[in-house]
Amino acid sequence: MSGCDTWLGVSEVDLDDRTSYQGLDSEGMLDFAVDFPAQVERAAEIGQGFVSSSRLTLRSPRQVVLAGMGGSGVGGEFLARLCEPRASVPILVCRNYEIPAFVDPDTLFIACSHSGDTEETLAAAAAARRRGACVLCITTDGRLKHFARRHGIELLEIPRTDPPMPPRAALGYLLVPLLWVLGSVGLYADAAGEIEEAVPLLERLRERVGPRVPTARNQAKRLANQLVGKIPWIQGTVGLMSVAAYRWRCQFNENSKTLAYSSEYPELNHNEVVGWELAKRLGLGVEVVVLRRPGDHWRNRARVDITRKLLKGKAKVHMVEAQGRSPLAQLLWTVYLGDFTSLYLAFLNGVNPAATDAIIVLKKELAGLQSPQE
């Protein structure tokens, strides 16, 4: 039976029998997910070690900008949301070749590229250096590492793995050390305490949704089965769950090889909610996953409940409530559940979650282009 048969809801994959999909996971993406709690611990050690020997000269930045694309940039998105209620300066993510006009010597500019060869991030880092910003580079290797060493720029190296780990599987390495970096400039307190809560919480979640747990007791496997042949639409409450919804969307895109969309409350109640009116008549194969957390504004929690009623008969709605006390623990718990769900859906779809053929083709096409100014 071919992999494409899974789109018709027919699959030889049994999520409770790992041997049935082992051949689809040649790069070990599921193993990377299983190891994630330990990765978070190792990343915390890297962050602590870096700040103890760091030579960052800017101790009171007026703004923080993180440049990064794809999985290398999502850590910045998480950081910005985590810092909204606590940081005294703005934290923005730059996903472009060009940087904001306000970047200056009072800016902490973090260039993050897992491979070290992301062209947009390299261009942004060079521009920030020319502006006199305090630049920090985060990478495993590549041109960004050489750029940092050539110009005497602070470098935070994260581990290279064998087999190679895609950026989206390296979230712990790309996020957690940043908490210590921001703590060193007075913008993020008690990262150690939050990690101390988050790691055992993630371990307990793994015990509930990991590959050894049968579907009957496994929330991630059950949800993946519901999403076969569907378009996942992830709705998150503004703030932490909004960026978690974005992560879920990207993981469905890259791991599961399926279209997925994300939106946030309360904004979606001012436009998107009306767009669902013809969903049933148009036969849209969409399933909604709502991400929320105990700390949400009570009006947004009410909006979720009312919107769920409005979607009745138009789309099936799956509810996910974040676990944990601290914002970081809640965010990582929710993301971890989504990572497992996207991997299980990839196997049900009959695809290799590590493969990103379209991105590789696009990069090769771009590599052959010359600037119109040349």
Of 151, 280, 297, 363, which residue is the catalytic one? 363
CA dist., res. 360 & res. 32, Å (int): 21
d(CA 319, CA 151) in angstroms, rounded, equals 49
Give Cα 99 to chain centroid, integer Å.
22
Q: Are 107 and 62 in contact (CB under 8 A)?
A: yes
In this structure, what are the phi and psi dihedrals at residue 67, rounded to the nearest 5 degrees?
-100, 125
270, 309, 312, 364: the catalytic one is 270
Locus of tokens 């099936």: 316
**Identified catalytic residue from 120, 194, 254, 287:** 254
What is the distance, to the nearest Å, from the Cα of residue 369 to the centroid of all Cα atoms in its chain? Answer: 30
270 noted as active-site residue? yes
Is residue 184 within 8 Å of residue 134, measured between CB atoms? no
Sign of the torsion formed by the C-alpha atoms of 250, 234, 287 and 275:
negative
**Residue 93 pairs with which residues in a beta bridge?**
66
Phi, psi torsion values for 214, nearest 5 degrees: -65, 155
Peptide bond into 163 cis (omega under 30): yes
Task: Please state, in angstroms and rounded to a whole number, the distance separating the CA atoms of residues 374 and 365.
Answer: 18
Known active-site residue 254: yes
Beta-strand ranges (E) seen in 121-243 are: 134-139, 154-157, 231-237
Question: Catalytic site residue 363?
Answer: yes
Report the side by side order of strands in the sheet with 261-265: 261-265, 231-237, 286-292, 316-321
**Considering just the CA atoms, what is the radius of gyration of the chain in Å?**
21
Q: Among 354, 353, 349, 352, which Cα is nearest to 227's? A: 349
Taking residue 152's Cβ as centre, other Cβ atoms within 10 Å add up to 8
Residue 111's beta-bridge partner residues?
67, 137
Cα gap 264→242, rounded to integer Å:
5
Report, as residue numbers or ranges, the catalytic residues.
254, 270, 363
